[in-house]
Structure 1
């Protein structure tokens, strides 16, 4: 990512986070002359203890120097959580925008990761790389989501599939929240690998092809490891509830493991067992 794109991303992020804060929630009058939702720039500057001019330049994407102390003040003013603060640092500190090694080949899963996928028989599990490309999955994931084996490898990107496959749109009860969760993780990688031009090309392609992607991307949600409950309406077995746990795998490959655990005291696990028994498949472990 060159500096121009980095600064544009920083500008969009600051605007999105400023717009979400209700003025009255922190003691500012709502007034009738506000042209945009959320705080004004001068209000953010006041809360952060910096000049309005300087904050305006930062939000406009001007190439100015910024210290970690000031970033912390802005983070507090905008009520950013830890993941959002880290993302702010990634975008604001140009030292992080160096060239990174490109992903040339699909990472080879270690024997231990393959064993984990095999052992999690009734927990749909997907392993992705830093581009959100699917590099491993188990049979449960293939039954609940898609038969990933039937998708060409170069199209096996989780973000792309969420926006292009009608099966996934029909599966999630609240598809928009479902998509936002994946985009929040994707934005974390986007900030961490500022030197990888693949992200800018992919985001442009998705934005041009899918207006829904552009709308949700502009919300600038960030999350390294969301934990949430998701509800699916599977075409064969109906309602299924899963707890999603997502974490990065330690090692050089920078992989992420996303595990969908059936919610206790629901019929989800039994439904999954029946589904896997009634629709036999090959071992989808790659």
Structure 2
């Protein structure tokens, strides 16, 4: 992203994180009139040990210098998670141009193909740092979509979540489902601050679906969110999965999103029956 977009993203992030904190959580009284939810700017500045003017400039997205020590103090004041702290540092310090994506799309090697096959009862999707789907197993095709029928350039996971009605109908809490992947996408967005593709994609998505911008602005930052997702599958009925996102060792730009059937439900049995019916038909 360019410098202006980076500073705007930093401004929006600081404001949203400040709004999430209750005054009592930071040791301030709840009483008194507050125009906006969360902490006041002067309270964050006090907690971080910086001047109100300097913090205000930072939150307004002005192009000012910030040391790692000061950013660490602000991260502590805002009670940021490890991933959120990394996101803050990436936006505030602009670590430089990222390594370019390979000319050829990432390929699934033989060991990873074997892993995908072995995860027969766990729908699994492999994606790159732009959330482009580069691999999946048979179970994923049965639960989500037949990705083979989608042109490779259209297999962006974020785009499909908003573009395809199948995903909206599938997830009982679609916004929670989307939120997990937006959290991953935001972590990439902060990590690769020099890649202009992200800003272009965000603009395209904002025009594609009115829900996108609202959910993007509310999204968290997480490189590996874990959550329980309930699906209402058209053929299998109610199903419940635990989503685990894993980086692939040796391929830092690839990750596996693994949906493990909830052991306390009949989800795995339903999935096996669904796959068996399809194979026999």
Same fold (TM over 0.5): yes
CA distance in 2, matches of 1:262, 1:219: 28
CA distance in 2, matches of 1:160, 1:103: 21
Change (3 A) 1:255 1:225: same
Check conservation: 1:142, 1:148, Cα contact below 8 A: yes
CA distance in 2, matches of 1:281, 1:190: 43
Cα deviation code 1:113-137 (max 9, x no counterpart) = 1111111111101000010000000
Structure 1 segment 13-28 matched on structure 2, within 5 A: 13-28=13-28
Partner of 1:259: 258
SS, match of residue 89 in structure 2: helix
Check conservation: 1:226, 1:245, Cα contact below 8 A: yes
CA distance in 2, matches of 1:48, 1:103: 41
TM-score by length of structure 2 reads 0.96
Partner of 1:115: 114
Cα deviation code 1:31-83 (max 9, x no counterpart) = 45322111111111011111111101111111111111111111111111111
CA distance in 2, matches of 1:155, 1:9: 26
Structure 1 segment 103-182 matched on structure 2, within 5 A: 103-182=102-181
Q: Which one has more relative contact order, counting CA pairs under 8 Å at least 6 apart? A: 1
Change (3 A) 1:276 1:198: same
Q: CA deviation at 1:252?
A: 4.3
Change (3 A) 1:41 1:281: farther
Count of residue correspondences? 281
- RMSD over aligned CA atoms reads 1.6
Q: CA deviation at 1:25?
A: 3.2
Gaps of 5+ in 2: none
Cα deviation code 1:235-280 (max 9, x no counterpart) = 1111111111111112246100111111113101100001001123
Partner of 1:50: 50
TM-score by length of structure 1 reads 0.94
Check conservation: 2:142, 2:275, Cα contact below 8 A: yes
Gaps of 5+ in 1: none
Q: CA deviation at 1:141?
A: 0.3
